[in-house]
């Protein structure tokens, strides 16, 4: 099958590598001025992997869209709306195309989920989301993992799973798109808090952080019409090991470096997602103490140790 991937960063390049490895014909798109694309063109790989030789690199968005009927989008969350506008401006017939959003985040300023933005802009429900635990560094070493595929269209979910399943990645079918997208996005914020605890030499508190984080987000998901139990699955709690503890986790590393006053020059999606979660907190009236603490630390110059310790020094409550 022909697969196109839009986005040539760490995960976009992985999806090109993976799709080719399981037998698909692949085109990988990146902008002409993208340093990631320039590196792939020059070396055939990046810091994480070497692309198979049959992966076609393209800097032409129209060519990439026309190449395949299954299109993976793996770009920064806050860039999704702009990308979809570019796709609309091409005036292509995309009614039969199936899109897969391989990204985790919420739009800052609106709090909107990625599938919502997609449906609103392209007026299409032919979209699935692919989330769950895993790091490129482990997957390219053939360390298997389980992930989640979800869509509001059950037949689309099943079709996309059949296309991408392999011994390396086992998929679970997701039915609660609200809970899956909120949970997948929010785990990055919990990851930042976990990294801050590491930096403050309070790693032992990550157990309490995990327990409280799931409860906090379950209440938000329920208030938005989702299933509160979804956050206890692979999209959120199941991703904690990869996000709160792994040295590969960018959000955890960002949080650690932040409190240690070290420079961090990679994308940590949780920094924008926490702002979006504050928008949802206002809309729903649901308290999000962990998210609010991270927001105050990052954007209101609050003291990290004071904010985080206050989370665990509140009045005694039943578990």
- Active-site residues, by number, are 187
Judged by DSSP in three states, 5 sits in: strand
Burial class from Cβ neighbours inside 10 Å (0-12, 13-18, 19+) for residue 152 reads middle
Assign 3-class secondary structure to 130-169. Answer: EECCCCHHHHCCCCCEEEEEECCCHHHHHHHHHHHCCCCE
Q: Which of 101, 103, 132, 92 is closest to 119 using CA atoms?
A: 101
Return phi, psi of residue 128, to 5°: -120, 160
**CA–CA gap between residue 68 and residue 115 (Å, rounded):** 20
Please list, in sequence order, all residues whose beta carbon lies within 8 angstroms of the beta carbon of residue 180, skipping any fewer than 6 positions away.
129, 131, 148, 150, 174, 230, 233, 235
Question: Cα separation of 99 and 122, whole Å?
Answer: 11
């Amino acid at each position: 099958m022909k697969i196109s991937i839009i986005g040539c960063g760490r995960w976009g390049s992985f999806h090109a590598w993976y799709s080719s490895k399981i037998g698909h014909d692949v085109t990988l798109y990146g902008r002409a001025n993208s340093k990631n694309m320039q590196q792939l063109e020059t070396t055939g790989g990046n810091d994480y992997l070497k692309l198979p030789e049959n992966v076609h690199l393209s800097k032409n968005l129209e060519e990439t869209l026309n190449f395949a009927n299954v299109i993976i989008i793996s770009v920064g969350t806050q860039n999704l709306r702009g990308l979809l506008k570019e796709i609309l401006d091409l005036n292509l017939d995309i009614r039969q195309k199936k899109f897969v959003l391989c990204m985790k985040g919420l739009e800052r300023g609106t709090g909107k989920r990625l599938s919502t933005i997609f449906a609103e802009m392209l007026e299409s429900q032919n979209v699935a989301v692919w989330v769950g635990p895993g790091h490129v560094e482990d997957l390219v070493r053939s360390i298997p993992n389980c992930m989640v595929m979800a869509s509001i269209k059950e037949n689309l979910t099943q079709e996309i799973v059949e296309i991408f399943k392999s011994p390396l990645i086992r998929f679970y079918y997701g039915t609660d798109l609200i809970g899956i997208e909120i949970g997948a996005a929010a785990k990055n914020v919990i990851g930042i808090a976990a990294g801050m605890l590491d930096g403050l030499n309070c790693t032992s508190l990550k157990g309490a952080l995990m327990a409280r984080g799931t409860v906090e987000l379950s209440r938000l998901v329920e208030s938005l019409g989702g299933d509160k139990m979804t956050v206890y699955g692979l999209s959120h709690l199941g991703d904690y090991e990869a996000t709160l503890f792994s040295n590969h986790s960018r959000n955890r590393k960002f949080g650690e470096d932040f409190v240690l006053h070290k420079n961090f020059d990679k994308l940590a999606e949780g920094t924008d997602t926490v702002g979006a979660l504050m928008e949802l907190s206002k809309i729903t009236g649901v308290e999000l103490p962990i998210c609010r603490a991270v927001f105050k630390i990052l954007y209101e110059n609050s003291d990290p140790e004071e904010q985080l310790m206050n989370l665990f020094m509140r009045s005694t409550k039943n578990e």
